[in-house]
Amino acid sequence: MSKRDYYEVLGVPRNAGEQDIKSAYRKLALKFHPDRNPGSKEAEDKFKEAAEAYSVLADSDKRHMYDRFGHAGLGGAATGGFDPTVFTGFEDILGGLGDIFGFGDVLGAAGARRRGGPARGADLRYDLEISFEESAKGSETAIQIPRQETCEACHGSGSAPGSKPTTCPQCQGRGQLRYQQGFFTVARTCGHCRGTGQLITKPCQTCRGAGRVQKEKKLTVRIPAGIATGQRMRLSGEGESGSGGGPPGDLYVVIHVQEHKFFQRDGNDLYAEIPVNFTTLALGGTIAIPTLDGEEPFAVPESTETGTTFRLRGRGMPDVSGRGHGDLNITVKVVTPKKLTKEQKKLLEQLASSLPKEKFEPTEAAQDDKGIFGRVKDIFG
């Protein structure tokens, strides 16, 4: 079949402007659109022809080549496997027509929501609680997620193997019903086939015609060391399966880290408060401190004030992106002995009588830390 001249196809002169070309195509596309001419091969061919002509004449480079060399100048670029349903210009056109009538949504939406088209599967969220140790060291854990998967028995068609769905008689397979309302056409999803355009005559026994089945999927999740509460991991493609050939959604694993009995986390730094006998603080000595690698001895220097914090650099949480570690901060707190034996009381009384009497004056540390108002507040507050 020899090709018609593109200007002839659109019915515009060779010197037609952009707007003239667009509006000429708009008219033809609406007239010959397959949805308006169900089953008409002639209309479909006309529609494709117009779309092809428009794709060339609307593009100044292609139009230039066409003007100089005719169809040969395009080297088949505009002609191969042209599918009007994927031609993005179509929605523009319907939207544009709506604008003319001041009713942008009516036809535009009908054009955009194509029946039974591929739809991406839903994203899923899975809340995963892990221990503090797991977050510190990283781990692998198996999770089970209930999700909708494509039915294997019918490959998602919903029809029993060997049977075929029939075309919906209500909408003749278009998935939409159209109503004439005044000037324009209103499209509504066909309720009979729920927009798929097809009716399942013999439903698949496995999925009862749904095309999808609920399954428990086992997944192994690798938890990176250093992950914190509220952070989430995306497992691409592990959500629910798509429909109509659409891609699956993603799975988001949201992390909740259990509290630790000693450690508080702030960023990648860890804080712990360790009760220490006042004799150890006064004389110095070795205590046991918790670290991420287990209990370790720690030497408390002589004359350590209660509340002193020791920073162990690089002994905090690993950074989740692998950039080093935070610090471990150990704060020592004096414990006042309770339930003293007679012997202990006696020893303490001896010690007390040898110590200077406490005076009501601010300590050096307090003078450094606070202004006069800070001290006043402490006394009366």
* DSSP 8-state symbol, 289: E
Shortest distance (Å) from residue 225 CB to Zn ion: 42
316 and 330 Cβ atoms separated by less than 8 Å: no
Is residue 204 part of the contact set for Zn ion (CB under 5 A)?
yes
C-alpha distance across the termini of the chain, in Å: 98
Is residue 206 part of the contact set for Zn ion (CB under 5 A)?
yes
Is residue 163 part of the contact set for Zn ion (CB under 5 A)?
no
Of 20 and 149, CB closest to Zn ion: 149
**Binders in 174-203 for Zn ion, by CB under 5 A:** 190, 192-193
Helix (H, G, I), strand (E, B) or coil at 219: strand
26 and 87 Cβ atoms separated by less than 8 Å: no
> At CB < 8 A and 24+ separation, what contacts does 4-12 make?
4/49, 6/52, 6/53, 6/56, 6/57, 6/66, 7/53, 7/57, 9/49, 9/50, 9/52, 9/53, 10/50, 10/53, 10/54, 10/57, 12/57
| Segment interacting with Zn ion, rule: CB under 5 A, options 37-45, 170-178, 268-276, 365-373 | 170-178
Nearest to 311 by CA among 331, 329, 298, 324: 329
Of 24 and 168, CB closest to Zn ion: 168
E strands present in 170-268: 176-181, 184-189, 198-199, 212-223, 232-235, 251-257, 264-266
| Segment interacting with Zn ion, rule: CB under 5 A, options 50-58, 165-173, 249-257, 357-365 | 165-173
Of 163 and 231, CB closest to Zn ion: 163
Shortest distance (Å) from residue 173 CB to Zn ion: 7
Is residue 57 part of the contact set for Zn ion (CB under 5 A)?
no
Shortest distance (Å) from residue 108 CB to Zn ion: 22
Shortest distance (Å) from residue 124 CB to Zn ion: 21
Q: One symbol per residue from 132 to 151: x for binding Zn ion (CB under 5 A), - otherwise; what is it?
A: -------------------x
Shortest distance (Å) from residue 34 CB to Zn ion: 16
List of residues contacting Zn ion (CB under 5 A): 151, 153-154, 168, 170-171, 190, 192-193, 204, 206-207
